[in-house]
Amino acid sequence: MLARGPSRRSATRNPGARPDFRFPPAMRKSSVRRFGRILGQLVPHPTLSSRSEPSNVVETISDGRIMCSTRITSCVAAFGPRGNWMRHNAPLLPSGQPKSVLRGAMSVAGLFAGIGGFELAFSRAGFKTRLLVEVDPAARAVLKTRFPDAEVRSDVCDLSSLPPDNTIVTAGFPCQNLSMAGDKSGISGPKSGVVGKLFELIMRHQPATVVIENVYFMLQLDSGRAMEWLVTQFERLGYHWAYRVVDTMGFGLPQRRRRVYLLACRNVDPRRILFADNDPIANIPTLSLTRPLGFYWTEGRSGVGLTVDGIPPLKVGSALGIPSPPAVLFPDGEVLTPSLPACEELQGFPRGWTDVVGINKGRNPAWRMVGNAVSVPVAQWVARRLKTPGTVLELTQTSISKGNRWPQGGWNVGEGRVGIAASAKPVLTEAPSISQFRDTSWSRLSDRALNGFIDRAENGGLRMPENFLDTLRQATRKTPTLR
């Protein structure tokens, strides 16, 4: 959130000019005023004199900038270019520590909570959710039903504080501007830019751990600009961080869904959570009509998401709540789409999770909410590792170069940024066949949808598995409907 920009006072290259710190456009001016109060609470670097104690922190506020006095500047400078301030004030726990580092600290605040994927996962690992914040009224109805003991708030932008004993913040902030299917406007976009509010709250309360989940595409969009921005904020706030691309398919669910999990910690090595497990990369399954093949029937020209014995990532459907889950061609010739309860299960939720009072069933938003959700078993792996960190594995290290797409994993624990080559499937959990999720609630793909896909695929020039389109042409048609 804090990005150095050229100060108006340094325009003349005055060596005594005072630096400024700029907030992203998505943040309110009130955030700037609060930030001034927060900086006044920073612990000075131990080698600084008592004169570095901040006073009269904010001199002027103009165009989202804070002009800081030289005294607060010396305090902030103690962070160093890579967050080294933390090494003086909150050393990492030793990697050999065998017991949970979160004993007696079990409180979770879920921001951008959706339907509670993070929170369901953390509750299964023994954590208690105190606060949930979600702007979608339909998703809030789910949260109020499924987490009756938690306080549910409507908008993170109106949140001024976290629970006083909160130690873990989870955040699956909006991905619309970072997704391959979105407008690709990036981290400063009108939707994704709200993440600035998250860092305002982190500055004020300094939670022990922050867990972020978002789309894999942000590692390459604008050469990883979003990741650069996120980790820079954590470094400047004194956190150590690690991130890893993880696939839902590796956690016992037949959905190919790669997501970035970014973990920032104040008092534990985040590598012990994200890089203590690494199942060797399995062989890529061969595309064959003898096994179920999942695909996006809404595509066909630029990509179809072919997935062997599973489905490609669940999406949000249309803005009107019209469902568009992936289709599956089964070896028996049926082309079916999963029902909403089946999609809930394919995300790790109990069937009927979104079937609550307060949701407009006419234009059912549940499809959108399930498509946006965090996969429960992946988040549960993170939660369990937070309770019992493991030993950091020896993994192949790569570089993180500014201006290039980011690798599959990486970290900075006070000694600079390091890229990591790691499997997207950390644990050895074989995904069952998609056939095990098939039941009479699945529906045949309509004739119009199936014919439209075949036409687009034929004209799109994409390579398809042998006989795939011919098999679709011969598939059992919509009438009679499978119920």
Residues labelled as active-site residues: 175
Cβ(246)–Cβ(376) under 8 Å?
Answer: no
**What is the Cα–Cα distance from 477 to 481, expressed in whole angstroms?**
8
Which residue in 254, 247, 243 sits closest to 311, CA to CA? Answer: 254
What CA–CA distance (Å, rounded) separates 126 from 390?
A: 18
Q: Taking a C-beta distance cutoff of 8 angstroms, is the pair 383, 121 a contact?
A: yes
Other CB atoms within a 10 A radius of the CB of residue 263 amount to 25
Q: Rounded to whole angstroms, how far apart are CA atoms 204 and 35?
A: 8
CA-nearest of 372, 441, 352, 461 to 173 is: 372
What are the tokens at 222? 């604008």
Q: What is the DSSP letter of 248?
A: G
As a dihedral over the C-alpha atoms of residue 266, residue 268, residue 269, residue 274, rounded to 10 degrees, the angle is -100
Residue type, 91: P
Cβ pair 89, 75 in contact under 8 A: no
> Residue 325 corresponds to which tokens in the numbers above?
């889950």
